[in-house]
Amino acid sequence: MENSGPSRENLTWTEPQIDYLVQLLVEQSRIPGMKSGGGLKPKAYTAIEKGMMDRFGPEFTKDKIKNKLKYSKPNLTVMKEMLNTSGFGYDPINKCIEVDPQ
Using one digit for the tens of pLDDT, what is the confidence trace for 15-27? Answer: 999 999 999 999 9
Q: What is the SS3 assignment for 80?
A: helix
In the chain, how many domains are there? 1
Structural domain that includes position 23: 15-99
Q: Round to whole Å and give the CA distance between 60 and 13.
A: 10
Q: Tell me which amino acid residue 97 is.
A: I
Sign of CA dihedral 66, 69, 73, 75: positive
pLDDT value, residue 93: 85
When the pLDDT of each residue in the chain is averaged and rounded to a whole number, the result is 87
Quote the CA–CA distance of 46 and 40 in Å, as a whole number.
10
SS3 string of 70-97? HHHHHHHHHHHHHHCCCCEEEECCCCEE
Tens digits of residue pLDDT in 13-63? 999 999 999 999 999 999 999 988 888 999 999 999 999 999 999 999 999
Q: Is residue 5 part of a domain?
A: no
Residue 10 lies in a domain: no
